[in-house]
Amino acid sequence: MNAYILLKKLANRSILMMAVLSSSYSFSNEPERAGKLSSKVILKDQGGFFILSDGSFWRAIEYKKRPRTFLEWLQKIILVPENYECNPIDWVLGSNIQVYPKQGYSTADEGNALNEDALKQCTHILVNAGNEQILFAVPLTSADCLAQVYQGARKEGLKQGDKNEYQKGYNTGLSRGRSTQQMNSGESYDKGYKDGYKEGFAKGTATCHSTEAEIYSEIYNKGHTDGFEFGFKEGYESASDDDEACPIKHLKY
């Protein structure tokens, strides 16, 4: 009798345990949360920030698949299920979103992702009930969500602003540099021309004066020599023709 009662109790406990396990299993296939996508912000380097209609905030990250090797391509190896190849920007407002814990639900090999480190930080999976696309996610408080959106937007704005300002500054600097170069070139040419002209004129004048003095000196010397020779010759010939000539008479001439 006692054995019968003991077996009955054990059977009841087994049934209860099976019921608990069955309930636990069915609960594991139910989403932790669910709601419509009521708002989203997409940042280029940080993925998407989602707000669901149940009031929860999430940072959604896509699975960035690495390229297949040639051998993997030949063997038609699938690195990740197709429904993981999506982007937060593709999810439209009003979509029904289900939230699951990553562990126990995700079937993607994070080792095949280019952003493996970012995926490992995620704790949940977001499932788009309309098309079964899947994004990795991190739960956020409203304050964290606003702070991250602000910082991310600020970085993108600074980056874009820096890029635009750099290009604007580069173009302005290039234009001014060319203008300054042309102006400086013109000023340098004018100054060089003036200095060269001045120096050349001074040297030319000095050379001219020097040459002129030399020429006058040569002319004077030549005239003096020629005149002396001509006068001496003429006086000598006149003296030879006059019988009564005397040196004193010829000296008058």
User: What pLDDT, on a 0 to 100 scale, did the predictor assign at position 247?
Assistant: 47
User: What pLDDT, on a 0 to 100 scale, did the predictor assign at position 112?
Assistant: 93
> By mean pLDDT, which of 92-96, 134-138, 174-178, 243-247 is the weakest?
243-247
- Does pLDDT of 38 surpass 80? yes
- Higher per-residue pLDDT: 116 or 217: 116
Measure the CA angle with vertex 100, ends 142 and 126; round to 5°: 65
Per-chain mean pLDDT for the chain: 73
Q: Using 50, 70 and 90 to split pLDDT, how confident is the model at 73?
A: very high
Kindly report, residue by residue over 97-135, the tens digit of the pLDDT. Answer: 999 999 989 999 999 999 999 999 999 999 999 999 999
Q: Rounded to whole angstroms, how far apart are CA atoms 136 and 97?
A: 12
User: What pLDDT, on a 0 to 100 scale, did the predictor assign at position 227?
Assistant: 62
Average pLDDT over residues 170-196: 61
User: What pLDDT, on a 0 to 100 scale, did the predictor assign at position 5?
Assistant: 46
Write down the pTM of the prediction. 0.53
**Residue written as tokens 């639900």?**
105
CA distances from 22 to 26, 27, 86 (A): 6, 9, 33
Q: Rounded to whole angstroms, how far apart are CA atoms 124 and 56?
A: 13
Measure the CA angle with vertex 112, ends 111 and 115; round to 5°: 80
Kindly report, residue by residue over 133-152, the tens digit of the pLDDT. Answer: 999 999 999 898 888 888 88
User: What pLDDT, on a 0 to 100 scale, did the predictor assign at position 148?
Assistant: 87
- Higher per-residue pLDDT: 29 or 71: 71
CA distances from 173 to 62, 158, 164, 169 (A): 41, 21, 14, 6
Average pLDDT over residues 30-59: 91
Measure the CA angle with vertex 103, ends 99 and 105; round to 5°: 60
User: What pLDDT, on a 0 to 100 scale, did the predictor assign at position 53?
Assistant: 95
Residues 6+ apart with CB under 8 A from 128: 86, 91, 95, 96, 97, 134, 135
Average pLDDT over residues 39-62: 91
- Higher per-residue pLDDT: 170 or 47: 47
Buried b (16+ CB within 10 A) or exposed e, 210-245: eeeeeeeeeeeeeeeeeeeeeeeeeeeeeeeeeeee
- Does pLDDT of 52 surpass 60? yes
